[in-house]
Structure 1
Amino acid sequence: MARSDFKSRFSGSYFGILWAIIQPLMTILIFWFVFQVGFRAQPISNVPFILWLCAAMIPWNFFADAIINSTGAFTSYSFVVKKMVFKIGLLPLVKVTASFFLNIAFNILLILIYTAYGHFPGVQLISILYFNICLFALITVLAYLISTLNVFFRDTSQIVGILLQFGIWLTPIMWEEGVIPEKFRWLIKLNPIYYVINGYREALIYGKWFFTHPLQTAYFWVIILIIGTIGITFYKRMKSHFADVI
């Protein structure tokens, strides 16, 4: 179902699933051009700006794409939701997995870009795998919450889109967290996606392992547990009403 869902996004278009790669790739190139060429951004941490940017944009693209698509997990499969013999609880996971296919391709591209610049990750690929698991878990627990809410409040998808627009700028993706006074940086770290993006950069650029920050790791998984508990509980209590409102 995830494979079919992924293909259905681009059915009828001439380039098909190539658009799934072209669109986010163009976004990265635009940001690179604006900051590198327009604002003449200097290398960060002794690596080209494009490497520093890609390390954050790749996981963010997966996060944004999966969140947007999973919002309509139940409403887009309304014909399945009304058939109670089907385990509709799998639908958010189908949407997240469909987006994960593209994420695999972009992670391979990221490794190739770093290798081309002479920064092959080596054993740090283990850390990248770990942070992909973290990202998948974060998206999944959020997917159950927002997809259930979207069944009863259809403006959810619009609100999610706006929040993601704010999120890309509030998260240190295009800018370095060093520009924020140190006494306020803890506020940035409250955002769970920061843990993944910072982990990507530290693994690829500094060669740090995923267990370097035990307190941040503990905080991240506690947040996953809290959101997951709320999301699953909300879904279980409301699923019996899905067929009535869809």
Structure 2
Amino acid sequence: MHRRTFALAVEFLRRELRNRFAGSFSGGLWALVQPLVQLAVYSFVFVHVFKARLPGADAPGFVPFLVTALWPWTAFSEALLRSTTAIQENAALIGKIALPRQVFVFAAAASSFLIHTAGFVAIVLILKLLGYRIDLLGLLPALALYLPLFALAVGIALVLSALQVFVRDLIQALGQLLMLMMFAAPVFYARESLPEAYRHWLDLNPFTFYAESFRSLLLGYGHLDLGRLLVAIVVAGLVLAIGSFVFRRLNRHFEDFL
């Protein structure tokens, strides 16, 4: 990214953050409250209604188990939803000023990751203070794990935001696809809870690696596979490169449809 493009991306990121909380009574606090409410609902349903139990003698409590995957998933899914319409929502500005259009996608995705990563750190520290078994030494490498996850999200978002210009109902389908993707990853359940014949299918979902790795780093539940980490980094880099290529190819036709 050139220096001028980077400066523009940072400026639009600031604008995105300001717009998200403009006129909001709670400001950025809602970024923590909303996932907390969601977590409370899921915890009640799975723990008290369905009596969910995790396999393994060393299994953590269900709340930290869910937290360590739900917050990264929220960052990833919200980044895709917000950035998919980024070009369409900035059509007026695009028609007036010549600037790299990728910055709109980057700013929308980055704002979601910044907000929910801060919420992730806050809730992990809260759980530690409440006495849950959290390994704070794993927090720094867990935060580093957000980097390939962010690259993956931006790569996908570049493709989706470009297609959204031509296919306006893509955003409606995306919400349903993300729900399917969430339940097809071990966010609410452990891999070992599935019949053994189906467990390997989880690896087709790119978020499976992240859910299991966050739990390994912070809860000591499972282990961080360095081979899978390398594959995840390579996949994130490839998706980002492909997304950039597709976006550049479609970029020239945006004015005809905006």
Q: Structure 2-normalised TM-score? A: 0.86
- For residues 165 and 74 of structure 1, the distance between their equivalents in structure 2, rounded to whole angstroms, comes to 23
SS at match of 1:82: helix
- For residues 222 and 244 of structure 1, the distance between their equivalents in structure 2, rounded to whole angstroms, comes to 35
Q: Which residue number in structure 1 is paired with residue 60 of structure 2?
A: 47
Return structure 1 stretches of 4+ with deviation > 4 angstroms: none
CA contact (8 A) 2:149 2:236 kept: no
Aligned residues, how many? 244
Q: Which residue number in structure 2 is paired with residue 77 of structure 1?
A: 90
Among 232, 242, 249, the alignment partner of 1:237 is: 249
Work out whether 1:177 is the aligned partner of 2:188: no
Structure 2: gaps spanning 5 or more residues = 1-11
CA shift for structure 1 position 118: 4.5
Q: Which residue number in structure 1 is paired with residue 144 of structure 2?
A: 130
- For residues 54 and 122 of structure 2, the distance between their equivalents in structure 1, rounded to whole angstroms, comes to 21
Q: Which residue number in structure 2 is paired with residue 219 of structure 1?
A: 231
SS at match of 2:252: helix
Superposed counterparts of 1:137-148, under 5 Å = 137-148=151-162
- For residues 184 and 169 of structure 1, the distance between their equivalents in structure 2, rounded to whole angstroms, comes to 14
Work out whether 1:93 is the aligned partner of 2:106: yes
Work out whether 1:5 is the aligned partner of 2:19: no
C-alpha distance 24-111 of structure 1, shift in aligned 2 (>3 A): closer
Percent identical pairs in the alignment equals 27
Greater CA drift, 106-115 or 41-50: 41-50
Work out whether 1:162 is the aligned partner of 2:145: no
Work out whether 1:196 is the aligned partner of 2:207: no
Letter matched to residue 161 of structure 1: G
- For residues 115 and 178 of structure 1, the distance between their equivalents in structure 2, rounded to whole angstroms, comes to 26
Among 14, 39, 46, the alignment partner of 1:28 is: 39
- For residues 207 and 48 of structure 1, the distance between their equivalents in structure 2, rounded to whole angstroms, comes to 11
- For residues 207 and 170 of structure 1, the distance between their equivalents in structure 2, rounded to whole angstroms, comes to 19
C-alpha distance 208-181 of structure 1, shift in aligned 2 (>3 A): closer
- For residues 136 and 150 of structure 2, the distance between their equivalents in structure 1, rounded to whole angstroms, comes to 22
SS at match of 1:86: coil
Q: Structure 1-normalised TM-score? A: 0.90
Among 100, 121, 137, the alignment partner of 1:108 is: 121
RMSD: 2.1
Letter matched to residue 126 of structure 1: L
